[in-house]
Amino acid sequence: MSHRVVTTTSTTTSTTTSDGSVLNPGYCRSHSGLLKIGQVLTLMIAFLCVHFAPGWTDYNAFRFFEVVTLWFLFAFLIFFLMYVFRLQAKLPCINWTMTEFFHYILGTVLVFIASIVAAVKSHSISALLAGSIFGFIATFLLALSLFTSYKVLCGSQQTSIGV
């Protein structure tokens, strides 16, 4: 009686999309990276226009505008730096796409409201009016990012199983 020995070997290979470096400079040139840079810059310009404007006409309205623009300026700057330094991969317990989507919803609504209030209360003071205009531009950029983030989050889901 002869025995036959069969040896099976399996090889597992893993491929990574990153090159192992900490920095992702390609994100700065991507569509979402350029949108975040535009958002941060327009929010910063809007904040600086209102902050350094002489003769505020309504203290509470422009403080609200400053708080909203500064909050979302830092929030989207953190998101930008997080993607540039690939920190989202180091914290996989957080759904970053969903978190960013909710920030876009809240940011679009609050920056739009703050820009309307700033435009109404500016009383033809050019710096305050310029701040509100940059607030509206930031609102448009946030809405654009909200739309693209929604497409990524809720887009192209297969509903039927092919047999």
Per-residue pLDDT reduced to its tens digit, 12-53? 443 344 456 788 888 999 999 999 999 999 999 999 999 999
- Domain assignment present for residue 3? The answer is no
- Of 49, 53, 46, the closest CA to residue 115 belongs to 46
Closest CA to 84 of 152, 144, 18, 33: 33
The model carries a pTM of 0.79
**Residue 152 CA: distances (Å) to CA of 35, 61, 96, 118, 127:** 15, 35, 12, 33, 37
Indicate whether 36 belongs to any domain.
Answer: yes
Identify whether 91 is part of a domain.
Answer: yes
8-state DSSP, 108: H
Look at residue 132 and tell me if it is in a domain. Answer: yes
Q: Is residue 2 part of a domain?
A: no
The tens digit of pLDDT for each residue in 80-136 reads: 999 999 888 888 888 888 999 999 999 999 999 999 999 999 988 999 999 999 999
Number of domains in the chain: 1
Phi-psi region of 3 (alpha: psi -120 to 50; beta: other; left: phi over 0): beta
Identify whether the C-beta of residue 139 lies closer than 8 Å to the C-beta of residue 131.
no
In a domain, 19, yes or no: no
Domain presence at residue 34:
yes
The answer to whether residue 12 is domain-embedded is: no
Domain span at 111? 25-154
